[in-house]
């Protein structure tokens, strides 16, 4: 599962890096379907980070990996 998630994050990563940010896999709780990620660089402190997290990262990953029910930043 981690490999599948990492592959999806690799697809998202270039758009985050264009704005000086990045995302890192932290953990996936299979029981809850909860993916924990760490926002890095400009994304870590950006006031729009929740929108990026939910409408960008979470939406993309949930579309391609249905086992992921939610994504949270830690």
Domain tally, the chain: 1
* Per-residue confidence (pLDDT) for residue 57, from 0 to 100: 93
* Per-residue confidence (pLDDT) for residue 50, from 0 to 100: 86
Range of the domain at 63: 2-73
- Reference 33, options 74, 4, 12, 62; nearest CA is 62
What CATH number is given to the structural domain containing 12?
Answer: 3.30.300.130
* Per-residue confidence (pLDDT) for residue 70, from 0 to 100: 96
Can you give the pTM of this predicted structure? 0.90
Residues of the chain where predicted confidence (pLDDT) is lower than 50: none
* Per-residue confidence (pLDDT) for residue 42, from 0 to 100: 86
Residues 6+ apart with CB under 8 A from 42: 19, 20, 21
As beta bridge partners, residue 37 has: 25, 73
């Amino acid at each position: 599962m981690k490999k599948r998630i990492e592959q999806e994050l690799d697809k998202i990563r270039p758009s985050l890096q264009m704005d000086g940010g990045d995302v890192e896999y932290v953990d996936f709780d299979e029981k809850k379907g909860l993916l924990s990620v760490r926002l890095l660089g400009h994304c870590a402190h950006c006031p729009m980070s929740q929108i990026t997290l939910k409408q960008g990262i979470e939406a993309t990953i949930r579309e391609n990996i249905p086992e992921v029910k939610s994504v949270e930043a830690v």
